[in-house]
Amino acid sequence: MNIFYDNTSEAWCLDQKDAVLFAGADKEEISYKQALSGQILYPITEFPGRRVLVVGILTSFNPKKETGLGGNLSLFRDLSLYLFQHGILTYVFTGKALTSGSMIGYVFSSSADRWIECKLPLPDIVYNRIPLRSYEASAEFQSLMNHFNEHSVNIFNPGFLDKYVMYETLVEDGSLIQHLPATTRLKTRDCLESFLDAHRHIYLKPCKGSQGKGIYTICKNPDDTLLFNSLKLGESFSNFDSFWEAKKKDLLKRNYLAQQAIAPKKLHGHRYDYRVLVHYEKGFYKITGKAVRMSQTQEITTHTPRGGKLYPYQSLQSRKLNLRLAKIAQKCGEILSKKLGFLGEFSIDIGEDESGSLFIYEVNSKPMQFDETDIEANRLLHLKNLFIELTFSNRLIK
């Protein structure tokens, strides 16, 4: 059975006579109409209750793009094509999509190799891939979320995670305390100085940053001189006072945290981190991808946009390591979902120190695409399964 978009009536139609399906959260009726020659057809799967599963990928508006779609269009394209292969109606939309009660979105056509604008049913589930924290704080975004809640649309992942809120949440629970580097919010001069005195070598990270942007390290030497490093520049200061006078404006205008630097285990002279992709599945948080990132051009971060490189996880894996990572992933999913809202997908950056202890550096609620093709293929499979599970298992996302 196929569906197609009829431009004249601005409606989705079936190409099979005597068939009726219901699409999206509002169970919008899709009925038969004869398809015209050359019409783009989309194979569709009939779910229980004569339902068509509708997935909406939410992103922000980008006026520089022809379609106006911002965010990771490569991921959106791959996911759309994969879901359509499994008979799931999928589209990308922005906060400006809801006009006059109708949803305006973009469906990717593989035959035309482009995004096609059309009217669409309200989605059963929204995959939140908003790329901007500022947009998630906007009135437009909140209005959209309110509309979805009123229509019982499931929202997949509530939003970006604040690094310090994540730390506080995990500390409060206590079960992962041995995997958390000491961390504090940078509020005052005295706060930072006492934390640096206690740990001697620390990281400064934006609470709402990503991809290694805005990260610094400070190392306090035995003679009380300070070495301050960014990704591109190193500076020396004779004492804490001179450092603070030079950097306080930049550090206080953004919301920073200070984190104890862990002495990392190294390979070939370079630090490395584990990157773990996690998906919810039938009550559990399952690791669906494991990767390693190794620093190259600098030793502050292993992020590939900052010069890090891929390293095969298989070269480091062991049964014990697999079990330890699985336990961390399960507890992170349980704790953060309970306190901050359901996380169906997330990734964790995990470091290993010289003694083999594991430390959680960051949890990302909107994981970037992995360079490893097998991990991305597994991701698409688990997203598809999860969209189906959340829509048809009567599980309420809170």
Helices (H), 125-253: 133-136, 139-150, 163-173, 189-199, 240-253
- Select the highest-mean-pLDDT range: 310-314, 348-352, 390-394: 348-352
**What does the pLDDT read at residue 208?**
86
> Residue for token digits 């999509």?
97
Say if CB 76 and CB 68 are below 8 A apart: no
Q: What is the pLDDT of residues 19-54, one digit of tens each?
A: 999 999 999 999 999 988 888 999 999 999 999 999
Structural domain boundaries in the chain = 2-156, 163-178+264-392, 183-260
Cα separation, 7 vs 119, in Å, equals 9
Give the mean pLDDT of 288-294: 95
Say if CB 214 and CB 254 are below 8 A apart: yes
Q: Apex CA 119: angle with CA 114 and CA 121, to 5°?
A: 115
Calculate what percentage of the chain has a pLDDT beyond 90: 78
Higher pLDDT, 191 or 306: 191
Of the CA atoms within 13 Å of residue 65, those in its CB half-sphere come to 14
Residues whose CB falls within 8 Å of the CB of residue 331, separated by 6 or more in sequence, listed in order:
173, 175, 176
Weakest mean pLDDT among 32-36, 153-157, 252-256, 305-309: 305-309
DSSP lists the bridge partners of residue 353 as 264
Say if CB 155 and CB 57 are below 8 A apart: no
Is 70 exceeded by the pLDDT of residue 303?
no
Give the mean pLDDT of 72-84: 97
Question: What is the pLDDT confidence band of residue 398, given thresholds at 50, 70 and 90?
Answer: very low
Helices (H), the chain: 73-85, 133-136, 139-150, 163-173, 189-199, 240-253, 319-340, 373-392
For residue 341, how many other CB atoms are within 10 A of its CB?
A: 15
Q: Which long-range contacts (CB under 8 A, 24 or more apart) does 108-113 make?
A: 108/76, 108/77, 108/80, 108/81, 108/84, 109/40, 110/81, 110/84, 111/40, 112/40
Report the CATH fold assignment for 2-156. Answer: Rossmann fold (3.40.50)
**What does the pLDDT read at residue 14?**
95
What is the reported pTM? Answer: 0.91
Of 199, 205, 187, 196, residue with least CA distance to 243: 196
Query: What are the strands of the beta sheet with 20-23, ordered from one edge?
Result: 28-31, 20-23, 51-52
Q: What is the pLDDT of residues 116-162, one digit of tens each?
A: 999 999 999 999 999 999 999 999 899 999 999 999 999 988 899 99
**What does the pLDDT read at residue 301?**
55
Specify the CATH superfamily of domain 163-178+264-392. Answer: ATP-grasp fold, B domain (3.30.470.20)
Higher pLDDT, 396 or 41: 41
